[in-house]
A and B are shown apart, each in its own frame.
Chain A
Amino acid sequence: MDFNSAKELLELCQQEQCPISEVMRRRECALGETTRDVVDHRMARALEIMRASATQPIKSPGRSMGGLIGGEAKKLANHAAKGKAICGDVLLRAMTYSMAVLEVNASMGLIVAAPTAGSAGVVPGLLLALQECYQISDSRLIDALFNAGAVGYLAMRNATVAGAVGGCQAEMGVAAAMAASAAVELMGGEPEQCMDAASTVLMNMLGLVCDPVGGLVEYPCQNRNASGVANALIAAELSLSGITQLIPFDEMLATMYAVGRRIPLELRETALGGCAVAPSACQRCASCAT
């Protein structure tokens, strides 16, 4: 069992009468010549690392290698605890977790790239927030990760997830598309709705450049993980409400890739443009660890 596009994936879901997560799981078993137990066990380990990296900095924040970030997740958690948050519960938790993962990443802690290290907070951030707010079991969260993996696989196969090739839209955009699709399946949406949500995210994050200050995976990467979960949540909500999209995921992915290749080199992870060359960023970098 294999598929090369969202169109083929949806046909398989229809044919097999199963959700995207199940098609992706069967594909992995078939191509990897392995069993459900093995792949589920491996995904459970990924979830365990995700949870640890999303929660640990709230208790014990640390400084990043480059010194540009650290302590943001704890600030958000404290802000929520005071009852002063203006975002809803799901979004606030998701933002907090996603920024926490980036803190762990930037201080050489253990994370799961999803699909990259710089965007590793988005998928766990949103899924763990939904789990807490809606009392979802770990086994359903693992299903959601398979769903997210299907979207990421299509992006890797048919476009790119590298900031150096397609800008931040290819990293954070794809991460958020993965999270949106997974959230829709988790909340009872149909496969078509998952793909519509993924398409919406790519549309809303189209053109986002990759401009890391000092060339490091810290800033603005961490902020953009928080905006990634917000974008994912918006797209999932649109889709779950029954709003459909004019442009299907396959076309939106091709669009993202085409735009990515037209982003100038300076704005594709080279730290030669964007935020990376703002005067305050340059001033700070003169004194940072690199």
Chain B
Amino acid sequence: MSYISIFDVIGPNMVGPSSSHTAGASVIAFLAHKMITPPLVRVSFTLYGSFAKTYRGHGTDRALLGGIMGFGTDDLRIRDSFQIADDRGLAYQFLPCETETEVHPNTVDIRMENADGQVMVVRGESLGGGKVRITRINGVEVDFTGDYSTVIVIQQDKPGVVAHITKVLSDRGVNIAFMRLFRESKGLTAYTIVETDGHFPEGIAQPLRDNPNVHDVMILEP
């Protein structure tokens, strides 16, 4: 979605009270939960800036936890997300951090752990009106919004991986809107993030994984 839709104006349909502190928070967590294989057993949310100050009164905590469990912005189960998480055996905690000020005022770090012990840390910023940005994955600075269909490839920083990704996509007629490579440092883990206008064809993750230097592939559809 590359234009301002009327449903960005008359919308989002959302559980209140705040498009940035409630709806946006749930969108960040929803995107994060798509980046790790379920089921999750533990999640912690570190809250910064205005999130840290006003999260209770805005239901930011319930919205984050709801998003992690896959609830959309208009899902009324967000109100009962503590109870639902308890029932599902998902441990959660909220850690307000008011000392770190060099961040966007509505920032959250989400640390997720699944049943296999895999850990994933995602940072998101809520920009207002339910719009968000993911700015960090496992400590590596990235930048995408989730407005587009997005594929995230976690890879070894070696020659040929990007060529592999673009070939898989072009063979299936995927038109790339944006493509960027982010890395820890030379030769270590890198993240290729591709955003596209339409939806990805079914089963695109597997051929993307068919490369010895690709560790994992995640698909996020809006």
Contacts and interface: CB of A to CB of B under 8 A. Distances in A.
A-B interaction:
yes
Interface of A: 2, 24, 27-28, 31-32, 39, 42-43, 45-46, 49, 64-66, 104-118, 120, 123, 145-146, 148-150, 152-153, 156-157, 161-162, 164-165, 178, 214-218, 288-290
B22 A108 contact: yes
A108 B78 contact: yes
B15 A31 contact: no
Given A43-B10, A108-B16, A117-B16, A289 B56 contact: yes
Given A148-B9, A162-B129, 16 more contacts: A27-B6, A31-B5, A39-B6, A43-B10, A66-B57, A108-B78, A108-B79, A110-B14, A113-B14, A113-B19, A116-B19, A117-B16, A153-B8, A178-B9, A216-B58, A218-B17
A8 to B, nearest CB: 15
25 contacts: A24-B6, A31-B5, A32-B3, A32-B5, A39-B6, A65-B57, A105-B17, A106-B16, A107-B16, A108-B16, A109-B15, A110-B14, A110-B15, A112-B14, A113-B10, A115-B9, A117-B16, A178-B9, A215-B50, A215-B57, A216-B54, A217-B58, A288-B57, A289-B56, A290-B57
Contacts of A2: 3
B59 interface: yes
A231 B6 CA distance: 23
A161 B129 contact: yes
A255 to B, nearest CB: 20
Given A112-B11, A113-B11, A217 B17 contact: yes
B10 A152 contact: yes
A52 to B, nearest CB: 11
A43 B13 CA distance: 11
Most A CB within 10 A of own CB, among B3, B19, B58, B74: B19
Interface string B1-39: 101111111111111111110110000000000000000
Most A CB within 10 A of own CB, among B8, B15, B16, B20: B16
Given A106-B17, A216-B17, A289-B56, A113 B130 contact: yes
A207 B121 CA distance: 41
B207 interface: no
Interface in B118-148: 128-130
B76 interface: yes
